[in-house]
Amino acid sequence: MVPALPRSLALLACCATLAAAPARAADVPAPATTPAAAEAQAALWLRDPAISPDGTRMAFRCAGQIWIVPASGGDALALTPAGAYAARPVWSPDGTTIAFASDRFGPMNVFAVSAAGGEARRLTFAQYDQAPTGFTPDGAAVLFWSAGLGDAVETGPIPNTHEDGRQLYQVPVAGGRDTMVLPNAAMEAQWDPAGQRLLYTGASIEQPFRRHQVSSAARQVWVYDAASGHHRRLTGGAQESRSAAWMPDGGVDYLDETSGSLNVWHRDADLGHPVQVTHLAGEPVRFLSASRAGDLAFAWGGGLYRLGHGAAAPERIAIHLLRTDFPGPHGWRGNALTDVALSPNGRDFAVVARGEIAVASIDGRFVKTLPHTAGEERGPTFSADGRRVAYAAERDGHWDLYESAIVDPEEHEFSQATRVAERRLTTGTRDSMMPAYAPDGRHIAYVADRSSVRVLDPATSNDVEVLPPGRTFSYDDGPWSLAWSPDSRWLALPVQPSLFLGNIALVPADGSRPAERPVPSGEGQWGPEWSPEGGMLLWHTDEGDLAGAFHRRWTADLEGAFTSRRAREAFARRLMVPVVGDLPPAAGDRGDGQLPGRPATDPRDNAAAHEAVPRGPIPVEIDGMADRTRILSQAPGQIVFGTLMPDGVSVLTVEQSPNPKGDGLVLTGTLRDLRRESRRTLFTAVPYQPGPPPRLARDRRHLYVLSRNSFDEAGTDGLTEIDLQRGTTRLIRISVDTTRDEAEARRAAFDQFWTLTARKFYDPAFKGVDWGAARQRYARFLPSLEGTRDLAELLSEMAGELGASHTGAYVRPPVPPAERVASLGLYYDERHPGPGMKVQAVIAGGPFDTGDSALRPGDVIDAVDGEPVPLAGGLRRILRDRLRQVVAVSAHHPDGTAFTEKVLTVDLGRERDLADRAWSERKRDAVASLSCGRLGYVHLAAMDAASYRGAASDIFGRFGAAQGLVVDIRDNGGGNLHNNLVTLLSGKAYMAVVPPRGGPTQDEPRDRWTKPSAVVMNAASYSDSSLFPLAYRDLHLGPLVGDPVAGTGTSVWWDQSLIVPGLTYGLPELPYHRLDGTPSENHAVEPDIRVPSDPEAWARGRDPQLEAAVQALLPPGGAPCPEPAIQPSRQP
């Protein structure tokens, strides 16, 4: 563990001289590793250095604040206050103002403040993160990037949240309208002193701190000429190049990884041959900035360095920083619940909140929090008497099982217990997780080392392996659904006959025989559940069409298998009992096995049904179970829970569906009577948080669901209790004390990330990186971090050493309601200076696409609900906190005619979806025009079910008669679809069906495309979207057109930390290989027709990559179609 420093501390960076060119790596002092040295260096996480234009001062970031220090070192003064994260400081040309980004109001927006201190001015009002990159040469405006829709014509990429979905803007320092500078991504942009040329870093889909990438997806430095509109790529290698700064002689200094690690390089005024300036090894140089005289500042190894113009070597800057903080833990009482377990006594339930476990009374009035630790607890399970709770806890980097029990024998409600004692149940070297108490309370099944299942007797410590390693692969640490039989003699559990196929297996709890699949199936099975008396084993099974290949549960059936022939016979007898008639609902518990208050059958009918229920334990006869199966659900659906009710003939199913009134999901519960062949809806529209399935109470009268907080990502309202008799719901609000010391929580999250990477990274050799040494190097910085963004950046740097895709961490904190921007579904002329905002295009399907709206491109919006559109922030500012509201929009035509219309606003997610669809339709129309209607076009925005279904619908419905097909996967961030997509496009006609008397004909196969196709791709075709063109090329299905695609074909688990709220990090764990053994990771997919992405062509409304794909599919020598002029329209 890293020793903690006092909260009032001095951050010391010792003076050291580092070699500039042509120094050797040995000249750089290695980081000290002794405990004393680690403490001395613990607070050296200094970032974002920005040297002032006159070279006398330096702004930098530490602990989430911006500080200023003399460039020679000394005392640093805080420019921004604690409590709000601030980053990316940039100086005005005269050195009087500093612009920076801060999450003071939620998202990272742009602010400006005097370099001498004072009140910061908010300059932008966006819902998505933004950051400044520099100033205009006259110092009047701040350059910044922002991820918006961009320009309806000139923005090339489809609207997206990656770097290439950003545009470059400027905003007056004094406040005012932000206007577009470039319609496409330009990171780290800086004007030359004359304002004629703009240096910028091109976009990449990779996280910014990944190292050693050699591909077209690596960032490169570009130069934009304002007079000609010409974009020139300055760096031409396949390694990372970035953070360029102008030198006094007109040359450029920048960071480049050509030497193996990011170092400073220089090009002279003609931007010709590069020369390496620094030769630092082991760590990358970061955040290069330059003064007017050419003095450089950068970060390396946690410290800040200055290289004077003409100096032989950089020197480390000594920084003395005083800060004061209040001691003690910082925490909160919250209701962000992620799991729930019901007590058999029906009076308590356990929840997991921020990685802490608490037991609450069924009304939520009493809450007993189990012992607090810095690490994570998960997977609570109750003993049969409800007096004990077992769970898994990660402590000291190791998962073990623990049990907390009520001490006082006179106390029976866990939530009201005055004293609870904890004991450790498992010890040793293996990780123990996901416990499940047996119904008799004597045994606990659990998962060991994420690969085997064991059964523990806590009383005797007897521990038996019932499922050995090798039969499963644990992709994430989600629940394994270990289901005990009612008599505690059998376990139903998941196994994998192959990597992407799950089946249910049965195994005796004593391990006396190997686990067997009772119903081997090529369709996925998951979620085992026993009927109340144990006569049937139920599970979910994938619908037998696309889901089996996709390996995602689009729709499913609820299937059951009788555990014995006697159970099957008893079920058949129950179905044969005649239905005499319905009687009025009876009150209370009738003891008839049906839901209280539901229509009952004749009493004689009930008696006969009870006689059909088997007496005593039912033997499990695995042989023959495959012949004793039955589909229990009415039809395939998005079933999240299903079970057989105690009467033995009623099936409860719960399905999820999109919320028709907004974002998120809702649940619908139905009861199907197999004897009557009737179906009743028990409840509808219950908000649902994806995660743990609904929990059914032991009396099977109440269902419990974790409910989202008004569909807010921040957490849950609590637990929703559904009365299955009345169909009513009751929200049980729970407030759980999740107080943690934030520094300890960050350390625990750091350790968890390191350990998970050590256990799951796809290369057990870590690509030659000493992962243990990396932990030591980065752990010493933990005491100087403040907040989640600091931790995410530290983890990204550490993961970046592995040189792999899908690494790093990010933070997406919830956006406060007051900062959520509503949308009118419009493209705006982002160069219009105001007043008002000029409409460039109306997005099809948006609020103004009504058919009778008077709003047209060129109109100017003047006010909303009578409030004039402000110059600063524009419409986005006054549309905050107006989601899904009817607003009165006042506008005027170019001739001055004013009008007002009322529309219902949408959120920015809906706006982006509509803009994506409109972008795809424009490309589809362009392909039709370029090919004279001979070719079809589909764009897949993601490798997911919705994209596949949309593409398949267009391919066979809209383009069935087309001669060829253009498949566009540009800016596709991945998913899991390559198998389906390759299969869809790999059809070869083998037969035709021709009606003898005329009519439509049909080639076979009818469910595959059998004609020519071409794929358009770019450097942002990522993850599964890189596997698809690789397989497409290897199968010789058609030409690949566009940019090379980096090899990023590795399956990832994006783990959302429960220890540090809002933190998510990537764990790439499943590599894909070509059949010759070549890994897809880090091996680029080269196009057959290379057409680089061209921002100049985009600005003219052209798409050269799409044009090349069309030409590749048209017959050679055919008459070309006239080139269409792409113009803005009401449907951009």
The contacts of residue 421 (CB under 8 Å, 6+ apart) are: 404, 405, 407
Query: Distance (Å, rounded) from C-alpha 1073 to C-alpha 1081?
Result: 8
Query: Distance (Å, rounded) from C-alpha 683 to C-alpha 733?
Result: 20
Query: Distance (Å, rounded) from C-alpha 212 to C-alpha 943?
Result: 27
Phi first, then psi: give them for residue 912, nearest 5 degrees. Answer: -65, -40
- Residue 369 neighbours by CB distance under 10 Å: 17
Q: Please choose, from the candidates 1015, 1021, 1016, the residue with its C-alpha nearest in 3D space to the C-alpha of residue 1035.
A: 1015
Q: Please choose, from the candidates 69, 210, 187, the residue with its C-alpha nearest in 3D space to the C-alpha of residue 132.
A: 187
E strand or H helix that includes residue 733: strand 728-733
Q: Please choose, from the candidates 436, 431, 442, the residue with its C-alpha nearest in 3D space to the C-alpha of residue 477.
A: 431
Residue 110: strand, helix, or coil: strand
Query: Distance (Å, rounded) from C-alpha 469 to C-alpha 125?
Result: 53
Query: Distance (Å, rounded) from C-alpha 334 to C-alpha 354?
Result: 8
User: What is the dihedral sign for C-alpha 240, 243, 246, 247?
Assistant: negative
Contact 176, 872 (CB under 8 A): yes
From the number of C-beta atoms within 10 Å of its C-beta (0-12, 13-18, 19+), residue 745 rates as: buried
Residue reference for tokens 């298998």: 561
Query: Distance (Å, rounded) from C-alpha 148 to C-alpha 846?
Result: 16
Q: Which residues pair with 862 in a beta bridge?
A: none
Across 505-537, b (16+ Cβ under 10 Å) vs e yields bbbbbebeeebebbbebebbbbbbbbbbbbbbb
Residue 284 tokens, joined: 């990358």
**What are the catalytic residues?**
806, 1023, 1081
CA 16 and chain centroid, separation:
41
Q: What is the 3-state secondary structure (H, E, C) of 1052-1090?
A: EEEEECCCCCCEEEEEEEEECECCCCCECCCCCECCCEE
The contacts of residue 582 (CB under 8 Å, 6+ apart) are: 599, 600, 601
From the number of C-beta atoms within 10 Å of its C-beta (0-12, 13-18, 19+), residue 19 rates as: middle
Contact 966, 1113 (CB under 8 A): yes
Phi first, then psi: give them for residue 637, nearest 5 degrees. Answer: -165, 180
Query: Distance (Å, rounded) from C-alpha 797 to C-alpha 751?
Result: 15
Instruction: Tell me how far apart the terminal alpha carbons of the chain are, to the nearest angstrom.
Output: 56
CA 491 and chain centroid, separation:
34
List strand residue ranges (DSSP E) for 734-874, in order: 736-737, 809-811, 822-823, 826-828, 837-842, 860-864, 867-868
E strand or H helix that includes residue 912: helix 908-930
Contact 79, 70 (CB under 8 A): no
Instruction: Tell me the H-state helices in 656-761.
Output: 742-760
Query: Distance (Å, rounded) from C-alpha 686 to C-alpha 668?
Result: 7
The DSSP code for 764 is T
